[in-house]
Chains A and B, each alone.
Chain A
Amino acid sequence: MQKMPKWADVALIPLINILIAFTLSGLIIWAIGGDPFRALKTMVTGSFGSTNGWGYTLYYTTNFIFTGLAVATAYQARLFNIGGEGQAMLGGLGVALVALSIDWPHWAIALPAAAIGGAAFGAFWAVIPAYLQAKRGSHIVITTIMFNFIASALVGYLLLNFLKVPGNMSTESAGFPAGTNLPTFSDMLAPFGITFAKNAPANISFLVALACAFGYWLLIWHTKLGYQIRAFGQSETGAIYAGINPVRIVVITMVISGALAGMMALNNVMGEAERLIDNAVEGAGFIGIAVALMGRNHPVGIVLAALLFGFLFQGGSELSLWEGIPRELVVVIQGLVILLTGALDNMVRGPVERLFLMLHKGEA
């Protein structure tokens, strides 16, 4: 039986979770001698108070939508892909190779080509653990996390020995040609007469991310393949009995998952840095796990959860800039939100469910 209405499950519980997380964070800020309300105000105005703030928030959000979708896709087949970090690193390599290969005449041509490059490299990095899982039974959690380290070493090696500009000290590739520079929100909104901060990093790949979220929804709930993925996830034996090939599903699901993670590079490598930097992913692959958990693996939930984490990242950066709150504490605040929304979800769910049951009884 339905213990509580759907709106409570989708909106109320995450809201209570965030509220608890923020209360705890506020207490911590208060304990180190800060003003929690001022801190909150700094975070909100820093992320949403100006087009510049929005530009940064949406930039981070774009990263998290891609990695969140990657985790969610794999989760539909009950595969726990925690290799988004490595897949996105390889995606960055793919995007960089495409962007540097020829002198692109226009971004509109470079974007789809780079998307294919990033997706292919990300998918390649996911397909090896998928094959090992499907054929050899090596657990995908172990292999994907190991592959993160291999990816980091591989990209570092290639950057240092092949892609780096001689004489440059930073481990980074050459800058991409101007023809690959993606339009930012400022360029996109100017024709509509809207002025947007021209230096904010949010770019057209945000729209690509939203398109991917829509594509994810279509795939999982409106295609035969999506049905097979979900069936496999619900019951492997049942799926096999129904004639679904488990090897095929595991591999295909992970290919899609890796491709989504790889496409994150469109945003951070091609859109923002416009060159490949060592360790460009900066943990977004792991944040994707929290985003997918919090978004209940639904595209709308993922986009909203990604926005929340985008706010936490941009707001956190503003906190350390203007309030002198050390960056370690900002990580604590981000960690509290992840802990409460992901791991301690049942702590809130139980009491709320009981509350609704009581109310329900009262009506009856």
Chain B
Amino acid sequence: MTMMRKILGATAALAISATAVLAEPAIIFDLGGKFDKSFNEAAFSGAERWAEETGGSYKDVELQSDAQREAALRGFADRGYNPIVMAGFSFATALNTVAADYPDTKFVLIDMVVDQPNVKSVVFAEHEGSYLVGVLAAMASKSGTVSFIGGMDIPLISKFACGYAQGVKDTKGDATVIVNMTGTTPSAWNDPVKGGELTRAQMSQGSDVVFAAAGGTGLGVLQTAADQGILSIGVDSNQNYLQPGSVLTSMVKRVDNAVYEAFSAGENVMPGFSAMGLDNDGVGYTVDEFNKSLITDEMMAAVEDAKAKIISGEIMVHDYMSDESCPSF
């Protein structure tokens, strides 16, 4: 009898503690892990920033296998975590089946759109940010040839490449843009050696500014560019500090802001579609003490002008993913 009472007591306590954590947010990182120096880590730093500023706590998990996506989503939703943030487009299929079963839980998906009444989809205008660094690349290049190194060959990365190419060509009509992808499998995100090889190959074709949108592979690109004395452009996070004086700028994608905002809104996250573009600082380029000397006043004026024109709609940057083609290639 006492045993029974103990068990019942424990269950009751569990139920109480379950309601107590009702407002806690949760985040699920993709297979890359939260310390990938890139996308997931940006999401992680957004969550950490929220925790530091508010003193709140949140739940997080790194996935080990694909089958865990649904399990983790349902597990968090069952225990009352709200909102649940997912870093990465791979969650779309799982979320589509899960979201309907938990109408009272809010889900936030980054980098992909899922059309459900309780899902907020956050997508970034990477093409706009890439356009701006393309403007800078064209002006910084002496040879008139610039290049792009992508990670895995997926439409999202072509979206970066296409905006970049358009920015270059709009600034310097006769410029050449070389585009290479590292590979077709997820390992292409983490192959700095191959990134270095591609950089050398592009240099031999005349490129003197290289934009890397390739996760961990990009670290090899930045390193090689610095060793060989050409300029590089970082991605996602501000990577200017990695090779001071050689990184022209970084195309930042504020995944951290997306996570921070979702956590701050808590259960009141507004479902629907949210585009993070130049107008709301979702994407952009960076200038700090490491690259100040590389950006002239003239370049600064040109890129700010382009930014204003994109926001006002005067310049339309082509989105590769709208039709899987790029007029600027």
Contact B186 A320 (CB under 8 A): no
A101 to B242, CA, bound (A): 50
B61, B63, B92, B185: which contacts A156 (Cβ < 8 A)? Answer: B185
B58 to chain A, nearest CB (A): 11
The yes or no answer to B178 lying at the interface (CB within 8 A) is no
With A199-B70, A278-B186 in contact, is A320–B156 under 8 Å at CB?
no
Residues of chain A within 8 A (CB-CB) of B324 are: 166-167
The yes or no answer to B24 lying at the interface (CB within 8 A) is no
B87 to chain A, nearest CB (A): 14
With A170-B89, A199-B70, A317-B71 in contact, is A327–B62 under 8 Å at CB?
yes
The yes or no answer to A152 lying at the interface (CB within 8 A) is yes
Residues of chain A in range 253-287 having any CB-CB distance to chain B below 8 Å:
268, 272-273, 275, 277-280, 282
Contact B321 A278 (CB under 8 A): no
B33, B64, B92: which contacts A317 (Cβ < 8 A)? Answer: B64
Residues of chain B within 8 A (CB-CB) of A156 are: 184-185
Residues of chain A in range 145-172 having any CB-CB distance to chain B below 8 Å:
152-153, 156-157, 160, 166-167, 169-172
B67 to chain A, nearest CB (A): 6
The yes or no answer to A201 lying at the interface (CB within 8 A) is yes
A200 to chain B, nearest CB (A): 9
Interface size on B, residues (CB 8 A): 30
A166 to B153, CA, bound (A): 13
Residues of chain B in range 68-107 having any CB-CB distance to chain A below 8 Å:
68, 70-72, 74-75, 89-90, 92-93, 101
Contact A321 B72 (CB under 8 A): yes
Residues of chain A within 8 A (CB-CB) of B294 are: none
**A157, A169, A282, A327: which has the most chain B beta carbons within 10 Å?**
A169
Contact B66 A169 (CB under 8 A): no
Residues of chain A in range 119-162 having any CB-CB distance to chain B below 8 Å:
152-153, 156-157, 160
A56 to B69, CA, bound (A): 12
The yes or no answer to A307 lying at the interface (CB within 8 A) is no
A166 to B324, CA, bound (A): 8
Q: Which residue of A lies closest to B152 (CB)?
A: A171
B142 to chain A, nearest CB (A): 36
With A282-B66, A330-B64 in contact, is A199–B185 under 8 Å at CB?
no
A-B contact pairs, 21 of them (CB 8 A): A153-B185, A156-B185, A167-B324, A169-B89, A169-B112, A169-B154, A169-B155, A171-B185, A172-B93, A199-B74, A201-B70, A268-B67, A272-B67, A273-B67, A278-B185, A278-B186, A280-B66, A313-B65, A317-B71, A321-B71, A327-B33
What is B's interface to A at a CB cutoff of 8 Å? 33, 61-68, 70-72, 74-75, 89-90, 92-93, 101, 112, 152-156, 184-186, 321, 324
A157-B184, A160-B153 given; name 12 further pairs at CB < 8 Å: A152-B185, A169-B154, A169-B156, A170-B89, A170-B90, A199-B70, A273-B67, A277-B66, A282-B65, A317-B65, A322-B75, A327-B62
A-B CB proximity, top 8 nearest: A156-B185, A282-B65, A169-B89, A160-B184, A327-B64, A169-B154, A327-B62, A321-B61
